[in-house]
């Protein structure tokens, strides 16, 4: 199985991404972001492109992102009923944080299998599991759009993965075949349009605009969280139970500024390539400090985009 390493050129070579771009450039005014994303279609399954790539910087970003979102994902797991002894599959596991969280919930009598199409991510996840001496988690390389596993699971979970797939409905349908009857299907996805600041922080909002516009032009479903209901139902699953949670940050010591800047840093080559922002304009090295100064001088808060948790049980 091959992995998709970071390369903007490689990304643009991908037919699907190119098609998204051509459609965008043909029909959209590039200065005016259109918040309506692509429909959750039932197209034949296509391969996904992970526009953030799998550089060391990106894997570090995923680990830091997990510190941020871990508590929110934990609430989703508790609500969904992830419990001791379960066998869990974590699709699009990245550096392994969601698998580690699931492993804590299922305990020593349970098992977690983390799966990602990136060999670099799987290698890092394995190293971290070994360092933490976790006995109940293993990792494999694989593509969620092409899943073929021998065992069925009590639960399949995934965080921030359906938003990157060209056809999340088809993926969900296929994922569900690996869950036992009455087993759980649990996803935690972003509503990336939910960045907010009060009082209005121009620099933070500018970063939010860069991130969202790059994702949208790169073919990412920035509102996947809110589309989970439609996706589950279209995939033949019951309407999911859904909750929404967000981190609201402020003050000089918040790690949020670095988190936002890490996201910008990972996307920067893509931003340039898609004409969203120029390196000179972004000034990445001073961006976090400038944002911190702007937000704290106004005594304000920033809202990191909310994550939507959705879960349902597989019907008979
Ligand atoms: C934003 S990261 C999230 C990682 C992890 N779930 C977390 O929350 O920390 C998305 C991950 O999905 C993986 N991914 C994207 N498309 C995939 C596919 N078709 N099959 C398997 N993994 C995929 C990427 O390689 C990346 O590691």
- Domain for residue 207, yes or no? yes
**What is the tally of structural domains in the chain?**
1
Sequence-ordered list of residues with C-beta below 8 angstroms from that of 54, at least 6 positions apart, any chain:
3, 4, 5, 6, 118, 120, 121
- Domain for residue 222, yes or no? yes
Condensed to tens digits (0 to 9), the pLDDT of residues 50-95 reads: 666 667 777 887 888 888 899 999 999 999 999 999 999 999 999 9
DSSP lists the bridge partners of residue 179 as 153
Alpha carbon distance 308, 187 (integer Å): 8
pLDDT for residue 35 is more than 60: no
Which tokens in the block code for residue 25?
Answer: 């450039």
**What is the whole-number distance in angstroms between the Cα of residue 122 and the centre of ligand 1?**
10
- Domain for residue 2, yes or no? no
Condensed to tens digits (0 to 9), the pLDDT of residues 207-223 reads: 999 999 999 999 999 99
Alpha carbon distance 116, 103 (integer Å): 17
Q: What does the pLDDT average to over 153-181?
A: 96
- Domain for residue 1, yes or no? no
- Domain for residue 253, yes or no? yes
- Domain for residue 68, yes or no? yes
DSSP helix/strand/coil, 287: helix
**What is the whole-number distance in angstroms between the Cα of residue 146 and the centre of ligand 1?**
14
- Domain for residue 3, yes or no? no
What is the extent of the structural domain holding 92? 8-28+37-313
Is 117 close to ligand 1, i.e. is its CB under 6 Å away?
yes
Condensed to tens digits (0 to 9), the pLDDT of residues 231-244 reads: 999 999 999 999 99
DSSP helix/strand/coil, 181: strand
Residue ranges of E strands in 35-172: 87-91, 111-116, 137-141, 153-159
Q: What does the pLDDT average to over 167-174?
A: 96
- Domain for residue 192, yes or no? yes
Pairing of strands 137-141, 111-116: parallel
The CATH code of the domain that includes 60 is: 3.40.50.150
**pTM (2 d.p.):** 0.83
């Amino acid at each position: 199985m091959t992995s998709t390493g970071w390369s903007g050129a490689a990304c643009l070579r991908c037919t699907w991404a190119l098609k998204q771009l051509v459609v965008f450039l043909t029909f959209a005014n590039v200065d005016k972001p259109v918040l309506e994303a692509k429909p959750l279609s039932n197209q034949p399954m296509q391969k996904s492109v992970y526009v953030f790539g799998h550089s060391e910087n990106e894997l570090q970003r995923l680990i830091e992102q997990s510190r941020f979102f871990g508590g929110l994902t934990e609430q989703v797991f508790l609500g969904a009923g992830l419990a001791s002894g379960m066998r869990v599959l974590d699709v699009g596991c990245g550096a392994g944080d969601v698998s580690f969280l699931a492993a804590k919930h299922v305990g020593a009598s349970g098992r977690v299998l983390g799966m990602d199409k990136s060999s670099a991510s799987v290698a890092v996840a394995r190293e971290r599991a070994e360092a933490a001496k976790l006995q109940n988690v293993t990792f494999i390389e694989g593509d969620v759009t092409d899943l073929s596993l021998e065992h069925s699971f009590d639960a399949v979970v995934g965080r921030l993965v359906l938003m990157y797939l060209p056809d999340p409905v088809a993926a969900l349908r296929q994922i569900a075949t690996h869950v036992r009857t009455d087993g759980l299907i649990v996803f935690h996805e972003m509503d990336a349009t939910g960045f907010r600041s009060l009082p209005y922080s121009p620099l933070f909002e500018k970063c939010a605009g860069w991130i969202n516009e790059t994702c949208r032009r790169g073919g990412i479903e920035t509102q996947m969280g809110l589309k989970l209901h439609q996706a589950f139902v279209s995939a033949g699953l019951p309407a999911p139970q859904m909750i929404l949670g967000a981190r609201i940050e402020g003050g000089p010591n918040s790690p949020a500024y670095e988190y936002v800047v890490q996201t910008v840093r990972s996307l920067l080559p893509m931003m340039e390539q898609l004409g969203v922002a120029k390196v000179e304009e972004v000034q990445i090295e001073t961006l976090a400090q400038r944002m911190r100064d702007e937000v704290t001088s106004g005594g304000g808060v920033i809202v990191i985009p909310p994550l939507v948790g959705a879960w349902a049980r597989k019907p008979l």
